[in-house]
């Protein structure tokens, strides 16, 4: 089976040149419907055969690769609407010498047993009953300047680009058709208690890191609709903004635990995320986004403007290694459930 996939998968260059998002959509519709279509004059025919071979190989490899591909649920219909809206949005653009400023607030209560997979924000210790404010500045290539305050204690960081789909240049090259993106993530997401959970958390991470361009964000929202453990509801978030709440539940692996994302219905952008379980709750809400031309003077004075990873706390500076490398690959960023 692996040999079949290796022999039939297209090259990255070939996908970029010939397999456009619209053609990929047509291919999947034909393959899933079991139909064939004449290729219009001037259109390259080889992706049709390649896609059919790859999808057939995935089908033969077992149901884990195709959790909800052939079912239409209420969640999938709602998420499809949001994905369609996301695909038409112009990404909040910022240039190479600008920053995307994202402000957010994390709160946590009763966390004695720890959060569910993916709920931990990086670096800052958010202990039980803590409220942390984040003022983050993202560059177009994934570097992040972060100013954080937890219970009156301030920490500043410069984070190098993350690995994998949390890095803009990597995310921009990912499939833009939901079924293909689902298979892509299931082949790479590690850790967690199941592939279903790992894919859900991977999408949340990618959206949180502002890594996904509109086409990939739309596909990622579509992938959520393929997840058999996902439900949705139209509601408002903690800031009273209209939201689609996307909840992942797996009672067999994490009884009583809920992990969720809040998506803006008209754009698909992430409004917040969180998780909760018996006796504990974690929430992260994004309160503001804007493009700015420079870092705040006080933050630049502490951290500098050079792309060098570091942490500054209590006047002490600690280096943060840049391990991403020029060719980012996925990493295990998800915490498996404790063994019982």
Pair of tokens at residue 301: 């004075």
What is d(CA 238, CA 283) in angstroms, rounded to the nearest whole number?
9
* 210 lies in the same domain as 292: yes
Judge whether 337 and 253 are in contact, CB under 8 Å: yes
* 46 lies in the same domain as 175: no
Residue 72 within any structural domain of the chain: no
Q: Out of 127-131, 224-228, 250-254, 320-324, which region has the weakest mean confidence (pLDDT)?
A: 127-131
Residue 269 within any structural domain of the chain: yes
Burial of residue 49, with CB atoms counted within 10 A of its CB: 0-12 exposed, 13-18 middle, 19 or more buried: exposed
* 131 lies in the same domain as 240: yes
What is d(CA 54, CA 180) in angstroms, rounded to the nearest whole number?
10
Give the number of other CB atoms < 10 A from CB of residue 304: 14
* 194 lies in the same domain as 52: no
What is d(CA 269, CA 265) in angstroms, rounded to the nearest whole number?
8
* 148 lies in the same domain as 6: no
Q: What is the pLDDT of residue 205?
A: 92
Q: What is the pLDDT of residue 68?
A: 54
Residue 75 within any structural domain of the chain: no
Residue 6 within any structural domain of the chain: yes
Provide the Cα torsion 34, 36, 42, 48; round to 10°: 40
What's the mean pLDDT in 138-161? 94
Residue 68 within any structural domain of the chain: no
Strands 270-277 and 258-263: antiparallel
This prediction's pTM? 0.75
How many domains is the chain partitioned into structurally? 2
Phi and psi angles of residue 309, each rounded to the nearest 5 degrees, phi first: -65, 130
Whose tokens are 């994490």? That residue is 254
* 206 lies in the same domain as 253: yes
Q: Out of 41-50, 202-211, 274-283, which region has the weakest mean confidence (pLDDT)?
A: 41-50
Tell me how far apart the 2 most distant CA atoms of the chain are, in Å. 67
* 29 lies in the same domain as 136: no
* 137 lies in the same domain as 254: yes
* 178 lies in the same domain as 295: yes
Q: Is the pLDDT of residue 50 over 70?
A: no
Residue 110 within any structural domain of the chain: yes
Q: What is the pLDDT of residue 164?
A: 80
Residues spanned by the domain of 125: 99-319
């Amino acid at each position: 089976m692996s040999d079949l996939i290796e022999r039939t998968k297209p090259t990255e260059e070939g996908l970029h040149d010939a397999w456009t998002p619209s053609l990929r959509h047509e291919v999947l519709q034909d393959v899933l419907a079991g139909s064939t279509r004449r290729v219009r004059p001037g259109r390259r025919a080889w992706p049709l055969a390649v896609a059919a071979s790859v999808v057939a190989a995935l089908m033969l490899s077992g149901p884990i690769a195709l959790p909800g591909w052939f079912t239409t649920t209420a969640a999938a219909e709602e998420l499809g609407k949001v994905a369609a809206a996301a695909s038409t949005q112009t990404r909040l653009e910022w240039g190479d010498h600008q920053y995307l400023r994202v402000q957010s607030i994390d709160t946590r209560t009763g966390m004695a047993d720890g959060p569910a997979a993916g709920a931990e924000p990086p670096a800052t210790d958010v202990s039980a009953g803590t409220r942390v404010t984040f003022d983050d500045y993202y560059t177009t290539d994934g570097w992040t300047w972060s100013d954080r305050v937890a219970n009156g204690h301030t920490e500043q960081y410069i984070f190098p680009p993350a690995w994998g789909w949390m890095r803009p240049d990597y995310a921009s090259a990912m499939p833009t058709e939901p079924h293909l993106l689902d298979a892509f993530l299931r082949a790479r997401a590690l850790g967690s208690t199941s592939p279903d959970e790992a894919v859900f958390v991977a999408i949340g991470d990618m959206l949180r890191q502002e890594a996904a361009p509109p086409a990939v964000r739309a596909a990622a929202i579509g992938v959520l609709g393929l997840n058999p453990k996902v439900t949705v509801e139209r509601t408002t978030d903690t800031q009273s903004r209209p939201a689609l709440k996307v909840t992942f539940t797996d009672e067999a692996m994490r009884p009583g635990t809920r992990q969720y994302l809040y998506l803006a219905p008209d754009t698909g952008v992430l409004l917040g995320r969180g998780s909760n379980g018996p006796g504990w709750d974690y929430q992260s809400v994004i309160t503001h986004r804007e493009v700015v031309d420079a870092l705040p003077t006080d933050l630049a004075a502490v951290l500098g403007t050079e792309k060098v990873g570091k942490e500054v706390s209590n006047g002490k500076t600690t280096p943060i290694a840049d391990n991403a490398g020029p060719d980012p690959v996925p990493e295990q960023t998800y915490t498996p459930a404790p063994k019982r």
